[in-house]
Amino acid sequence: MKRHLFLLSIMLAITSCKKTPPDGNYCAKVIYADSGSKKSAFYTLIVEVKENKLVDISFPEEHFDQSEIKAVEIPKDGKVTVVSQSGTVYKVEMKGPAEECLKAVNMLQCKGKSKDGSRCKRLTSNKNGLCWQHQGK
């Protein structure tokens, strides 16, 4: 009997642990208030997750705010509010793996190089294959 209780308690401990998504790109609905009006708008975009934190939103090149976001931990329900360095507030709803995001803006991985020499991880819709950060470099 004690053995059964021990095994049951281990199983409960394992299944009750919060599972975090692996690092990578995900599909998300990104809602924001348009700066020129009081209307809200949204994109279905690819976002980047590292250590259960939303660290980047891959906006199309024509989006008005290209500043970086402050990394924010993603709660269990997948809904998080982030703020860009320029002060724009975005409400993000995680939808699933990037591959399943059929309505996302068509983007490719940037061809630019990061400071450490590795390929940039940002996604871009720009025809020259470079994200906003690597334009003109």
**What CATH code is carried by the domain that includes residue 63?**
2.30.29
In a domain, 130, yes or no: no
CA distance 23 to 3: 37
In the predicted structure, residue 15 carries a pLDDT above the cut 50: no
In a domain, 27, yes or no: yes
In a domain, 121, yes or no: no
In a domain, 128, yes or no: no
- Domain of residue 37 covers 15-105
Provide the domain count of the chain: 1
In a domain, 126, yes or no: no
Query: Looking at 35-44, 55-64, 89-98, which range is the least confident one?
Result: 35-44
pLDDT given for residue 59 in this prediction: 80
In the predicted structure, residue 17 carries a pLDDT above the cut 60: no
- State the CB neighbour count (10 A cutoff) for residue 6: 10
- Identify the top-confidence range among 29-43, 74-88, 93-107: 74-88
In a domain, 137, yes or no: no
